[in-house]
Copies of this chain bind each other. A is one copy, B any other.
Amino acid sequence: MKQQNRVAAVDRKPTMNDVARLAGVGAMTVSRVLSGTVRVTAETRQRVETAIKQLKYRPNELARAFRGQRSHSIGLILPSLYDPFFATCAHAVATVAKERGYSVILTMSNGDPDTEYVEAEHMLERHVDGLVVIPSIFRQTRLTRSLFGRTPVVAFDRPLPDPAFDVVLVQNTAGARRMVEHLIEHGHERIAYMGLARSLFTINARFLGYRRAMRDAGLKEDSFFGCESEENTLRLLAEKLKGKNAPTAILTSNTLATRYVLSSIAHLGVRVPNDLAFAGFDDFDLADVISPPLTVVRQPTQEMGRVATNLLFDRITRGETPHLGSRIVLPVEIVLRRSCGCKHRTPVVIH
């Protein structure tokens, strides 16, 4: 008998029944000791705990999740982890989940609607208790509320077409608008917008902020949507800077555009902010180290991830999936460094 036990301990993982047998109690008692929800005699608890240690017993979360219809895990779908912005979001999500004792199942859509759909299905097969998603493309995503049944889903950074989803966003439009207004305050009148194609919600929203600020100020709009590659950006910028009416200031749509524009600026030997003022959307790690330090719209990246995940846990614990989702929009900050023409020695932050 003893030997059998030893063999069992080596060959397969010990189960609750093994513990119960060794402690001389029923399996239910072991379960109760573990969950701690029901009173158990001090002596019995002691015996069970000794047996657990002796066998190095570890509860099988798989069995527990299966039986309890609760996986204690949430899914996280995002386009990529290669982009530090998304990675920061993921960090926040994982941190909140850990605080709640939940696991995070991670997967990437590469921004592709079909991949996104397939991965969402995988998540459902794994019976995640909820899902946090940075959706792919607004017009093309195949994620609908009905796909998920009762499983709560929170979208963040970008919305989903179906208004039944909860969504957490930042003030893309207002942020871009405020940034342009600041450039105007510096006396600029020919302000160009350089960004990616407008198919992404955030990119488009930022462009709209630019457009409104320009219109409201009675200025002529001057926008490029081709910053998908370094060559393209360089060509566009070189061409535009040649003309009589060359822009005196530039706003970019995101860090990728910022990167390409910065690189082009270096190639062309343009001096910032003297020849050309610069403002970017989305802060990044080296923005205040490079010279000149970059003026940017800063998104509350981590907070967005935290808020989205907390909202998800609200839905999970309350067990409700409302017909109309919440829409939370977080404020952005304008971080004034030097590329816009400001002279501060240290950054000034406008809320």
Q: Mark A80-117, 1 if CB is under 8 A from B, else 0.
A: 11101001101100110010000111111000000000
Contact A13 B108, CB 8 Å, known A58-B124, A290-B290: no
Contact indicator A126/B289 (Cβ below 8 Å): no
CB distance from A17 to the nearest CB of B (A): 15
Which residues of the other chain, B, contact A59 by a CB distance below 8 angstroms?
125
- Chain B binder among A60-68, A160-168, A200-208: A60-68
- CB-based contact A98/B107 at 8 Å: yes
Question: Would B94 and A81 count as touching, CB distance under 8 A?
Answer: yes
What is the bound-complex CA distance between A13 and B63, given in angstroms?
Answer: 18
Tell yes or no: A350 within 8 A of B by CB.
no
Residue in B13, B107, B124 whose CB lies within 8 Å of A104: B107
Quick one: given A66-B66, A88-B82, are A103 and B127 in contact (CB under 8 Å)?
no
Find A126's partner among B61, B80, B87, B107 (CB 8 Å cutoff): B61
Q: Is the CB of B61 within 8 A of A13?
A: no
- Once the chains are docked, how many angstroms separate the CA of A149 from the CA of B290? 49
Is A228 close to B, CB under 8 A?
Answer: no
Q: Is A285 on the interface with B (CB-CB < 8 A)?
A: yes
Q: CB within 8 Å of B: which of A6-35?
A: 13
Question: Using Cβ atoms and an 8 Å threshold, which residues of chain B touch A60?
Answer: 66, 125, 127
Closest 8 CB pairs of A and B: A87-B87, A81-B91, A106-B106, A61-B125, A263-B289, A66-B66, A81-B87, A290-B290
A122 within 8 A of B: yes
Contacts of A13 in B (CB 8 A): 149
Q: How far is the CA of A106 from the CA of B59 in the complex (A)?
A: 20
Please determine whether A73 and B108 come into contact, CB atoms closer than 8 angstroms.
no
Copy count, this protein chain:
2
Which residues of B lie under 8 Å from residue A91 when comparing CB positions? 80-82, 108
**Nearest chain B residue, comparing its CB with the CB of A260:** B289
Contact A90 B81 (CB under 8 A): yes
> How many Å lie between the Cα of A100 and that of B149 in the bound state?
27
Chain B residues near A71 (CB, 8 Å)? Answer: 62
Contacts A/B (CB < 8 Å), 16 sampled: A58-B124, A60-B125, A61-B126, A82-B88, A82-B91, A84-B285, A91-B108, A98-B108, A98-B119, A104-B105, A104-B107, A262-B290, A263-B289, A266-B289, A266-B291, A290-B290
Nearest residue in B to A230 (C-beta to C-beta)?
Answer: B289
Least CB distance, A162 to chain B, in whole angstroms: 17
Most buried by B among A105, A122, A126, A284: A126
Given A66-B66, A125-B61, the answer on whether A105 and B259 have CB atoms closer than 8 Å is no
What's the Cα separation between A61 and B82 when bound, in Å? 29
Question: Which of A65, A71, A81 gathers most chain B CB within 10 Å?
Answer: A81
